[in-house]
A and B are shown apart, each in its own frame.
Chain A
């Protein structure tokens, strides 16, 4: 009788152990991704995900990144598979990943199809809101088995965001024009995280009603919207400071003396490129942005 019971226990434990190792998760696009075991060799094709992995201390699970995953600096120590748009499939396969994390904003549909053909599980992310960013942190934590590190990170970020909200709450909200790229003029629309950040930072994005996330805008229309603060993103640091591309050229904007922002001298060009990489450091950028828009709130 005892031997039979022992066998039953063994069998139950054996059966219980096996399925516990495999997991099925749902990615941020709603697709089911089935993994035979928790991933230990992850390739990240998304700079913000790479950043989150390091922020959670899970970098031992990361085996590959893209050329654009340069933050934190330690990320450069991981092998790169190439660009976000044109990663080398061979290099990727040679890293023997058991999971690839990618985004539909920056990676190509064709890459996902190729990965599916090669039967490499792909987890898609999509984060264009602060809430989605927190969700993403949680998911990365779960995938990398570092769920314990999620709460401290996420709570810390949430506290800082709320602190900004509280600090700017009493003040009137100026109209803000954020220039992502000067020529052609590209500004954030409704779907962009930047619009939300401007809102949290106590400003009203003048282009916030535009349907798309990134809108090619005309300079005329921007001027006609009479912004009270203009923020020019300086991409020079991202370009290694060498090329002139992405330099904000504030003199061009100073010509528009009818614009309230120019008259009040509230034309700022700053290296806020961290705002364009939607990882945890976005909150650093948020704080800087809030300081620009409401200097009086942070004296």
Chain B
């Protein structure tokens, strides 16, 4: 089967799965609504002020959209970083990029920016700047003549991540003790319902980042040959690296700006997809957009309902899932030989 047809088939299957998970997510929640009530609300037949209407349309639906977007964006960022660094263990959280973005958001919050559209754009800009800063730092530390050394890259990622996390801690210690709980809670990653206008902004930024990566998916494949060989094939390697970098930082920064740092999505989802579809980024990038959405949506549904009415942070679920996968990867498929 040609690559194009495989991609189409995979997208059909994944989109169907996403719809299914979204439907389940809409029916399940701590407000214990009957399925009929949810359906009525979705069809617009329930009263605008009724519980099922408010819960379904103003709480659950925006949250489902946010989860799907955030998951997709993080998964695509993961694929992008992995292609760029030629290392399947690279992802925004591991590379310290999430921490950089989170730092940006904490700084923005100190300036009092919130959820309205304009303010959300401001927060997103800070997050993007933080993500770019962290990504650039990791890259500069890890690049050696001949490319990026895998060990150095992971180490650099850890170091940059620790640095920004410490910077966040410094900022927190200045912040009022009573707000501490709130900031710590945010740092675990949370999918709260976002107002429609801000959600549209979120979607626009995420899709922009996605498109930037997608149009270079073929060249990203060629990067696996090594930079010099890619140049000899006619790829403008420097420009490609820059663009993928910026795109991945944009995707990560956007997600962190709207939902806080969520880890491991960019690691687990591409890995699972590679197992089925292989290494071709042209297949991985589009399917990651949908697959990431499914993953995070499922995780968030769990997070919302496991200890109802309290809520776990979605980042907790993804870490519980992701950390074992990471360890498994390190010890089996990607064992580094000395």
- Chain A interface residues toward B at CB < 8 A: 67, 80-91, 93-94, 96, 104-110, 113-114, 117-118, 186, 212-214, 216
Contacts and interface: CB of A to CB of B under 8 A. Distances in A.
A99 to B, nearest CB: 16
Given A106-B181, A213-B178, 4 more contacts: A86-B311, A88-B304, A117-B195, A216-B173
Contacts of B30: 88, 90-91, 94
Contact of B192 (A67, A107, A114): A114
Contacts of B311: 82, 86, 88
A59 to B, nearest CB: 20
Contacts of B178: 104-106, 213-214
Given A88-B30, A90-B60, A67 B176 contact: no
Residue of A81, A86, A104 with most chain B CB atoms under a 10 A cut-off: A86
Interface of B: 29-33, 51, 54-55, 58-60, 114-115, 173, 176-179, 181-182, 185-186, 190, 192-193, 195, 304, 308-311, 313
Given A90-B55, A91-B309, A110 B192 contact: yes
B309 A82 contact: yes
**Residue of B55, B177, B309 with most partner-chain A CB within 10 A:** B309
Nearest to B184: A85
A179 to B, nearest CB: 15
7 closest A-B pairs by beta carbon, nearest first, are A214-B177, A90-B31, A94-B31, A105-B178, A108-B182, A82-B310, A91-B309
A85 B185 contact: yes
A192 to B, nearest CB: 9
A86 B313 CA distance: 9
Nearest to B177: A214
Contacts of A94: 30-33, 51, 55
A23 to B, nearest CB: 20
Contacts of A113: 114-115
Contacts of B59: 89-90, 93, 118
A91 B51 CA distance: 10
19 contacts: A85-B182, A86-B190, A86-B310, A88-B310, A89-B59, A89-B193, A90-B29, A90-B30, A90-B304, A91-B30, A91-B308, A94-B55, A107-B182, A108-B181, A108-B182, A109-B182, A110-B186, A113-B114, A212-B177
B51 to A, nearest CB: 6
Nearest to A186: B177
A87 B31 CA distance: 12
Contacts of B309: 80-82, 87-88, 90-91
Contacts of A81: 309
Contacts of B31: 90-91, 93-94
Nearest to A113: B115
A109 B176 CA distance: 13
